Chains A and B, each alone.
Chain A
Amino acid sequence: MSEIFRRFARNRPALVGVGVLLAVAALALLAPALYPQSPFEMVGKPFEPPLASTLLGTDQLGRDVTAAVAHGARVTLLIGLVATFIAILLGATLGGIAGYFGGWVDTLLMRLTEIFQTIPFFLFAILLVAVLTPSVGSVVFAIAVVSWPPMARLVRSEFLSMRNREFVQACVGMGMGHWRIILRHILPNSLSAIIVTGSLMVATAILIESGLSFLGLTDPNVMSWGFIIGSGRTVLPTAWWVIVMPGIAILLTVMAINLVGEGLNDALNPRLRHL
């Protein structure tokens, strides 16, 4: 464990990523304290540029972009994390069952996965949110539904190769039941792959959420980064900052997550790195 930590700590880009993520997380946590009023509140004149009366300027309705970005961090991160968590749970369960049991169970579950993968994921997410009426819950659901198939395929292949490893055979030979083998022996050995892929899935989830809210497919009472961009896109010629500030926030967060994900990959699978 400390070995993994040391390897991770040697990776400078990953540390930068951690720093950025901590900053974003702090912003999200402190948003209610820093900006106690609702981000929908009008605080000044419309189209005030950054540093005039507020740090990042105001939008077409005179709302503070700074407050919006801070409160947006909360919503965006929350949606990204929860959706990814559900996707990992769903993908790992289905993929694990398919990989471990094989045979017709595997065939059935993999055909199901393929059906999901044949539909372009973003269109599918749009469709789901549109049908279920936009809300935080439906956005999370839609992101989870379009994100689990790659995780299922990954976990399946991990389990498939692990299934025939001799230590698993030894467990079967001892008279161990399936669930114990899966949870105590195979899952811990697949965890590093799941963590790495899962961390990168958070970045994708944030991008999907931003895309959806840009199209207006989001809860209109909840401020997320994508929502700010979506509502500000019509005023781009007069007030670039309304779009650029949350855009930078998305860029930094997604990049930081990718750096951390790669750092985790190098730390957890050191051998792959030296190939």
Chain B
Amino acid sequence: MALPVVVVDSLTVDLPPQGERPHAVEDICLELRANEILCVVGESGSGKSILARSIMGLFPSPQVRASAGRVLLNGENLLAASPARMREVRGTRVAMIFQEPMTALNPVLSIGRQIEEVIEVHGAAAPAQRRRRVLDILAAVHLPDPERIAHAYPHQLSGGQRQRAMIAMALVLGPQCLIADEPTTALDVTTQAQILKLIREVQRDRGTAVMFITHDFGVVTEIADRIAVMQSGRLVELGEAQQVLGAPAHPYTRALLQAVPGLRPPPARADFHARPTLLAVDSLHKSFRSGGRLFGGGVRVVHAVKQVTLCIRQGETLGVVGESGSGKSTLARCVSRLVEPDAGKIMVGATDFTALSGGALRAFRKKMQLVFQDPYGSLDPRQKVGAMIAEGPLLHGEDPGRARARAAELLELVGLDARAAGRYPHEFSGGQRQRIGIARALALEPDLLIADEPVSALDVSVQAQVLRLLADIRDRLGLTMLFITHDLRVAAQVCDTIAVMRAGEIVEQGPAGRIFAAPRHPYTRELFAAVPGQHWTAGTAPPDPSPVG
């Protein structure tokens, strides 16, 4: 067995006194060995990031600090080290990569300069030698044309390239330990697959000890040698990947694993072909212009949605899947006319929705309601929940007493207490807010529900509950849904039909069962191949615990 590089010994980190719990992490004991990837998994607020940051000595505020325990790096207690010593250790022994490479890189310095600076502050090497090392490390993380990348600025690189540059920066001084805090969460699934492969490769080549923080069990199955599961500040399970995934000992781990949606869609609910069409979108087009100035200058045109044609039949759920920037959200906003399409026609039943305007448009909007992604931004923070849900019906002329009664009913329908009506949104958790958002959308008894990434901002266990709720309500009320998501696992759970979007176009469309079983378009195949942990389903050990692809 490899030697431990980092030993975390009964570490407790305090939170500020008015926090929701006294400790961010409590009594954590684990070790990180050379040449292994230890995945720390947990939902938001589990303390996994604080654990990672306490190794680096980077606490988010002076009130958050370690109150007990030790963090040993090769036997040296880092919690007792002086600030000067910590600066020496960071970068040379322990390095960190972050979730969002755009904000973790300095936008006004070139990539090469930023990496060089790391070498410089640790007092090494002549300028020529430094530049040599920068180019070497950029080549080692497989960035094409290192010379050019070294001169590029962060905004000139793609998300994946930026994350590679971050990894290069972390690795340039050959640290023994690499801490990766959700390094692929902000990336698209195909890019994520490449970055995971890269992290595995550099870890193998250099024998680095990697602590990989993530919330995504798909990623865990791809990359973990060992797994540590955290729940509200405590370590609940620690073990070899195969064992934790195959035979989880702790009920919380089991619950988390159960909540990960499978990639196989359930059998078709019904044959929708015979049903009447509810929504027919015909050659919808939307482009955005930017950069036009008072005195001319280049105008950049982005075609967000190009000639999209689709139809949803009564009671059907159509899933639009695609990576970020594929235009799927713009499509949803065009269909609901929150954004005016440039061209094309939207028929809702027998009504031409695109032809409506003014009062007729406002009256017709009740037939189509939206559920949004962000549980924090989608509810008016200054409005009580009951008033929020009743507002739509009141607007369309409902009697106030009946609107209030209906709001209470809806809160119960989405699994909340009717007393929630008297409270403000900030008193609810993310999952509960999403339920409120759904209740608000249902209040107008829409024919079509447009859900734009409704579960993407939620933790996996909450996500499973909200998905179940959506499916349940849909079946009970016979709702038709347009479901936008980037997550194929989620799409597999709720969608009857899938449309795959890339660069504003629908490249493939068909019944979910067929698309998941036999994707035809090369892009669809690529997308499916990139889904992490696809050979694994809950309750089974992954076939190959540490695949190097």
Q: 1/0 contact trace for A245-275 toward B, CB 8 Å?
A: 0000000000000000000000000000010
* A234 within 8 Å of B (CB atoms): no
The interface residues of chain B lying within 8 Å CB-to-CB of A189 are 380-382
Query: Known: A165-B377, A166-B374. Is A173-B368 also a contact (CB below 8 A)?
Result: yes
Task: State in angstroms the CA–CA spacing of A166 and B388 once bound together.
Answer: 14
Residue in contact with B338 in the complex, picked from A173, A176, A188, CB distance below 8 Å: A173
* B106 within 8 Å of A (CB atoms): no
* B364 within 8 Å of A (CB atoms): yes
Question: Which of B168-176, B390-398, B497-505 is near enough to bind chain A?
Answer: B390-398
* A175 within 8 Å of B (CB atoms): yes
The interface residues of chain B lying within 8 Å CB-to-CB of A167 are 377-381
The interface residues of chain A lying within 8 Å CB-to-CB of B368 are 173
Q: 1/0 contact trace for A170-186 toward B, CB 8 Å?
A: 11111111001000010
Contact A174 B392 (CB under 8 A): yes
The interface residues of chain B lying within 8 Å CB-to-CB of A173 are 336, 338, 365, 368-370
Task: State in angstroms the CA–CA spacing of A172 and B339 once bound together.
Answer: 11
Contact B338 A169 (CB under 8 A): yes
Distance in angstroms from B332 CB to nearest chain A CB is 11
Contact A174 B395 (CB under 8 A): yes
* B162 within 8 Å of A (CB atoms): no
Distance in angstroms from A263 CB to nearest chain B CB is 20
Task: State in angstroms the CA–CA spacing of A171 and B504 once bound together.
Answer: 26
* B33 within 8 Å of A (CB atoms): no
Task: State in angstroms the CA–CA spacing of A220 and B57 once bound together.
Answer: 67
Q: 1/0 contact trace for B326-368 toward A, CB 8 Å?
A: 0000000100101000000000000000000000011111101
Task: State in angstroms the CA–CA spacing of A174 and B370 once bound together.
Answer: 9
Contact B365 A174 (CB under 8 A): yes
Residue in contact with B395 in the complex, picked from A165, A166, A176, A274, CB distance below 8 Å: A176
* B212 within 8 Å of A (CB atoms): no
Q: Which of chain A's residues 165-215 have a Cβ closer than 8 Å to chain B?
A: 165-167, 169-177, 180, 185, 188-189
In the complex, residue of chain A having the shortest beta-carbon distance to the beta carbon of B365: A175
* B61 within 8 Å of A (CB atoms): yes
In the complex, residue of chain B having the shortest beta-carbon distance to the beta carbon of A174: B392
The interface residues of chain B lying within 8 Å CB-to-CB of A169 are 333, 338, 370, 372
Task: State in angstroms the CA–CA spacing of A172 and B336 once bound together.
Answer: 10
* B286 within 8 Å of A (CB atoms): no
Contact A166 B365 (CB under 8 A): no
Q: 1/0 contact trace for B387-409 toward A, CB 8 Å?
A: 00001100110000000000000
The interface residues of chain B lying within 8 Å CB-to-CB of A274 are 61
Task: State in angstroms the CA–CA spacing of A166 and B451 once bound together.
Answer: 12
Distance in angstroms from B93 CB to nearest chain A CB is 30
Contact A170 B382 (CB under 8 A): no
Residue in contact with B382 in the complex, picked from A166, A171, A188, CB distance below 8 Å: A188
In the complex, residue of chain B having the shortest beta-carbon distance to the beta carbon of A180: B395
Residue in contact with B378 in the complex, picked from A166, A174, A175, A176, CB distance below 8 Å: A166
Task: State in angstroms the CA–CA spacing of A189 and B361 once bound together.
Answer: 26
Contact B440 A176 (CB under 8 A): no
Distance in angstroms from B472 CB to nearest chain A CB is 22
Number of A-B residue pairs, CB cutoff 8 Å, is: 60
Contact B396 A175 (CB under 8 A): yes
Task: State in angstroms the CA–CA spacing of A179 and B547 once bound together.
Answer: 58
Task: State in angstroms the CA–CA spacing of A176 and B336 once bound together.
Answer: 14
Task: State in angstroms the CA–CA spacing of A170 and B433 once bound together.
Answer: 14
Contact B366 A174 (CB under 8 A): yes
Query: Known: A173-B365, A174-B392, A177-B362. Is A185-B383 also a contact (CB below 8 A)?
Result: yes
The interface residues of chain B lying within 8 Å CB-to-CB of A185 are 380, 383
Task: State in angstroms the CA–CA spacing of A171 and B336 once bound together.
Answer: 12
Q: Which of chain B's residues 240-296 have a Cβ closer than 8 Å to chain A?
A: none
Task: State in angstroms the CA–CA spacing of A255 and B81 once bound together.
Answer: 45
Residue in contact with A172 in the complex, picked from B338, B380, B440, CB distance below 8 Å: B338
In the complex, residue of chain A having the shortest beta-carbon distance to the beta carbon of B378: A166
In the complex, residue of chain B having the shortest beta-carbon distance to the beta carbon of A107: B294
Q: 1/0 contact trace for A131-172 toward B, CB 8 Å?
A: 000000000000000000000000000000000011101111
In the complex, residue of chain B having the shortest beta-carbon distance to the beta carbon of A274: B61
Task: State in angstroms the CA–CA spacing of A180 and B391 once bound together.
Answer: 11
In this complex, which of B336, B361, B378 has the most chain A Cβ atoms within 10 angstroms of its Cβ?
B378
Task: State in angstroms the CA–CA spacing of A117 and B111 once bound together.
Answer: 40
Distance in angstroms from B175 CB to nearest chain A CB is 30
Contact B381 A174 (CB under 8 A): no
* B54 within 8 Å of A (CB atoms): no
In the complex, residue of chain B having the shortest beta-carbon distance to the beta carbon of A111: B294
Task: State in angstroms the CA–CA spacing of A180 and B370 once bound together.
Answer: 19
* B373 within 8 Å of A (CB atoms): yes
In the complex, residue of chain A having the shortest beta-carbon distance to the beta carbon of B374: A166
The interface residues of chain A lying within 8 Å CB-to-CB of B379 are 167
Contact A170 B373 (CB under 8 A): no
Query: Known: A185-B383, A189-B382. Is A166-B377 also a contact (CB below 8 A)?
Result: yes
In this complex, which of A173, A177, A188 has the most chain B Cβ atoms within 10 angstroms of its Cβ?
A173
Task: State in angstroms the CA–CA spacing of A169 and B437 once bound together.
Answer: 12
Contact A175 B364 (CB under 8 A): yes
Query: Known: A185-B383, A189-B380, A189-B382. Is A170-B440 also a contact (CB below 8 A)?
Result: yes
Query: Known: A169-B372, A189-B382. Is A174-B377 also a contact (CB below 8 A)?
Result: no
The interface residues of chain A lying within 8 Å CB-to-CB of B361 are 175
Contact A174 B380 (CB under 8 A): no
In the complex, residue of chain B having the shortest beta-carbon distance to the beta carbon of A186: B380
The interface residues of chain A lying within 8 Å CB-to-CB of B383 are 185
Distance in angstroms from B19 CB to nearest chain A CB is 12
Task: State in angstroms the CA–CA spacing of A188 and B384 once bound together.
Answer: 13
Contact A174 B336 (CB under 8 A): no
* B444 within 8 Å of A (CB atoms): yes
Task: State in angstroms the CA–CA spacing of A172 and B370 once bound together.
Answer: 10
The interface residues of chain B lying within 8 Å CB-to-CB of A177 are 362
Contact A175 B362 (CB under 8 A): yes
Distance in angstroms from B168 CB to nearest chain A CB is 30
Query: Known: A166-B374, A169-B338, A274-B61. Is A174-B369 also a contact (CB below 8 A)?
Result: yes
Q: B residues near A, CB below 8 A?
A: 61, 333, 336, 338, 361-366, 368-370, 372-374, 377-383, 391-392, 395-396, 437, 440-441, 444
Q: A residues near B, CB below 8 A?
A: 165-167, 169-177, 180, 185, 188-189, 274
10 interchain residue pairs of minimum CB distance: A175-B365, A166-B378, A175-B362, A166-B372, A174-B392, A167-B380, A188-B382, A166-B377, A173-B370, A165-B377
What are 30 pairs between A and B in contact, CB < 8 Å? A165-B377, A165-B378, A166-B373, A166-B377, A167-B377, A167-B378, A167-B381, A169-B333, A169-B338, A169-B370, A169-B372, A170-B370, A170-B437, A170-B440, A170-B441, A172-B365, A173-B336, A173-B365, A173-B369, A174-B366, A174-B369, A174-B392, A174-B395, A175-B365, A175-B366, A176-B362, A176-B395, A177-B362, A185-B383, A189-B382
A-B contacts besides A166-B378, A173-B338, A188-B382, 13 pairs, CB < 8 Å: A166-B372, A166-B377, A169-B372, A170-B441, A174-B391, A174-B392, A174-B444, A175-B361, A175-B364, A175-B392, A175-B395, A180-B395, A189-B381
